[in-house]
Amino acid sequence: MLRSLLTRLTQGHRTIGYPRQAPPALSDRYQGRPYADTSRCPNGCQACVQACPVNALHTNNGQLEVDLGACLFCTDCQTACPEKILEFTPEFRMASRDRKGLVVPLAEKGAITPEAFSREIRRLLGRSLKIRVVSAGGCGACEADVNVLSTIGWDWGRFGIQVVASPRHADVLLLTGPVTNNMELAVQKTYAAMAEPKLVVAVGSCAIAGGPFAGHQSVRGGAEQVLKVDLYIPGCPPHPLSILEGLLQSLNKIKH
């Protein structure tokens, strides 16, 4: 016991200071919100659009747009760009309450901030949020970044957020994966077992739009094909900061 206490004193405070402090430095390899100065893009060039494996890039009224919900952040578009004007920025704040809010101009950059849940929902939840996580056919990457939020370095329990084993104790159903046909019934039963009010959060490109499995006969193609989604957190996988930021913004717990 004494050794444990001495070790704790030696280690000091291990939890990140975010959101009260600036976010910790992200790895140089982190690929956040894509951006391109499209004014320098050659007329008619569709190299990035054609290179995208999931059709996340498209032209709308002459303007290049990116669907962050479908984007795999794989950098194929960046590699294909002949002018090398497309980049993936360090911006991790990309959550949205509305699916359409994830379709944004490629020439814009900066944070995407979700609207808070209704005041009534927040009043009922109080300062506690219980989450039931369901991997509906995910590869394990999104699940890993959700799990890390319970560790000492992140400790989302300090915000009243806790993962629970039973859907009967949950306020939120957090879904990862494209929702395979074999998992559809399990997802529906989990949601049905939750008490009202209940929310659904789709984490990762698979849960939002099917990811690389979109259109496959064995998957439904995302959570919204099965349930109404209340919050979308894009990424492949989303950084733990993206997940934490999206939830805290929706709960109106932080202001930037």
pLDDT tens digits, 140-180: 999 999 999 999 899 999 999 999 999 999 999 999 999 99
The β-bridge partners of 162 are 130
Burial label for 106, CB within 10 Å (0-12, 13-18, 19+), is: buried
Q: Looking at the predicted structure, is the pLDDT value of residue 58 above 60?
A: yes
In 3D, which of 245, 171, 181 has the Cα closest to residue 213? 181
Instruction: Give me 13's structure tokens.
Output: 């405070």
Q: Which CATH number fits domain 119-250: 3.40.50.12280, 3.40.190.10, 3.40.50.2300, 3.40.50.150?
A: 3.40.50.12280
Edge-to-edge strands of the sheet including 129-135? 161-163, 129-135, 172-176, 199-203, 231-233
With contact defined as beta carbons under 8 Å apart, do 175 and 209 qualify?
Answer: no
Average pLDDT over residues 99-116: 95
How many other C-beta atoms lie within 10 A of the C-beta of residue 120? 9
Domain ranges of the chain: 119-250
Q: Which residue has the higher pLDDT, 254 or 37?
A: 37
Burial label for 7, CB within 10 Å (0-12, 13-18, 19+), is: exposed
pLDDT at 43: 78
pTM value surpassing 0.85: yes
For residues 125 and 130, what is the distance between their CA atoms, to the nearest angstrom? 9
- For residue range 203-213, what is the model confidence (pLDDT) as tens digits? 999 999 999 99
Q: Looking at the predicted structure, is the pLDDT value of residue 139 above 90?
A: yes
